[in-house]
Amino acid sequence: MTVSRPSARALELHELTLHGHRLAYRQAGSGPVLVLIHGITSDSRTWRRVMPYLARRYTVIAPDLLGHGGSDKPRGDYSLGAHASSVRDLLVALGHDRASFIGHSLGGGIAMQLSYQFPERCERLVLVDSGGLGRGVSVLLRAAALPGSELVLPLLAASRMLDAGRLAGGLLGRLGLRAGTDIEEIARGHATLADREARAAFVQTLRSVVEPGGQRINAANRLYLARRLPLLLIWGEHDTLIPVAHAHEAHAQLPTSRLEVFGDSGHFPQLDEPERFIDVLGEFVDSTAPAELDAEDWRELLKTG
């Protein structure tokens, strides 16, 4: 299957105001609702190779999280819970009660938080190279969580190491990142940190989930709550930011989940292998019934977990 050329409609950026702040998002298509949640320093463009095709069969919504992309970057709460509430509010404001949530990297942690805070709104959960499933994370992110890193980031972002969105000389490669998409995407996100407000939002978001020793949040003790929720794990085999071992451990803990390891991908399988990503996601949505959890179901899960 070949991915269609991106349509202007599918990639057009819209915006609305929620709680006094501008929230940018992309929306296209019709049918069952898919919400695509990007990772840290990224934005809705990380879905650019898959969103146009998905919009042929589904209603696809891809926000720029607060602090990222075209959205406002206020001083405030950038915790997983705050991001989850913001995505929930966007969904409701656009007239949708329920959706399947697909989260990449940090977005995976937000998607899990959404399914935990608002189980009645979550039909399916798809975690793509997700944070929040283990301690391990790249030295690059652990270093950025160190005290004082906010003083160094603007110097790096403005330096001549950045060349058309890439780090000349392979600095990121020497830090262990996989050549190709991973380095290009991380460097593109890194370049946004020259903006003071974006940099402050990045540091606050990162430190809410990562510390110098690794990830500070691990959802493994709550995975049992997804027993009645269709769950798909997609991971790049060569991810050097968040190890694929996290996917295998989560799948072993929740055998009802599905696991797809993309052998030619790093941290961004939706960009490295978009055709397979579309096929796997589409088959998962089409072959699973949306979860229907009521208050009694949730109570029983909590009591028996």
* Eight-class DSSP state of 34: E
Residue 179: C-alpha distances to residues 119, 165, 186, 277 (Å): 38, 14, 11, 20
Give domain limits for the chain: 8-135+216-304
The Cα–Cα gap between 134 and 148 comes to 25
The Cα–Cα gap between 150 and 200 comes to 7
Residues annotated as part of the active site? 105, 239, 267
- Are the C-beta atoms of 223 and 253 separated by less than 8 Å? yes
pLDDT, tens digit, for every residue of 25-83?
999 999 999 999 999 989 999 999 999 999 999 999 999 999 999 999 998 899 999 99
- pLDDT for residue 302 is more than 90: no
Q: Stretch 134-160: mean pLDDT, rounded?
A: 68
Confidence of residue 179 (pLDDT cuts 50, 70, 90): low
What pLDDT is recorded for position 52?
A: 95
Confidence of residue 89 (pLDDT cuts 50, 70, 90): very high
pLDDT, tens digit, for every residue of 90-105?
999 999 999 999 999 9
What pLDDT is recorded for position 174?
A: 52
Nearest to residue 13, comparing CAs of 90, 89, 71, 72? 71
Residue 298: other Cβ atoms inside 10 A:
15
Rg (CA), the chain: 18
**Residue bearing the bigger pLDDT, 303 or 31:** 31
**How many helical (H) and strand (E) elements, i.e. helices and strands, does the chain have?**
13, 12
Confidence of residue 140 (pLDDT cuts 50, 70, 90): confident
Question: 8-135+216-304: what fold?
Answer: Rossmann fold (3.40.50)
The Cα–Cα gap between 189 and 208 comes to 18
What pLDDT is recorded for position 295?
A: 74
Nearest to residue 286, comparing CAs of 253, 263, 258, 262? 258
pLDDT, tens digit, for every residue of 195-242?
888 888 888 888 889 888 888 888 877 787 777 899 999 999 999 899
- pLDDT for residue 125 is more than 60: yes
What pLDDT is recorded for position 194?
A: 77
- pLDDT for residue 164 is more than 70: no
Residues shown for the chain:
305
Confidence of residue 151 (pLDDT cuts 50, 70, 90): low
Cβ neighbours of residue 275 under 8 Å, at least 6 residues apart? 1, 2, 3
- pLDDT for residue 10 is more than 70: no
Lowest mean pLDDT among 12-16, 122-126, 154-158, 267-271: 154-158
Confidence of residue 167 (pLDDT cuts 50, 70, 90): very low
The Cα–Cα gap between 253 and 22 comes to 39
| First-residue to last-residue Cα distance in the chain | 41
* Backbone φ, ψ for residue 155 (5° rounding): -70, -40
The Cα–Cα gap between 36 and 25 comes to 10
Largest CA distance in the chain: 58
Question: CB burial class (10 A; 0-12, 13-18, 19+) of residue 211?
Answer: middle
Cβ neighbours of residue 134 under 8 Å, at least 6 residues apart? 215, 218, 220, 242, 243, 245, 246, 249
pLDDT > 70: percent of the chain: 86
What pLDDT is recorded for position 180?
A: 77
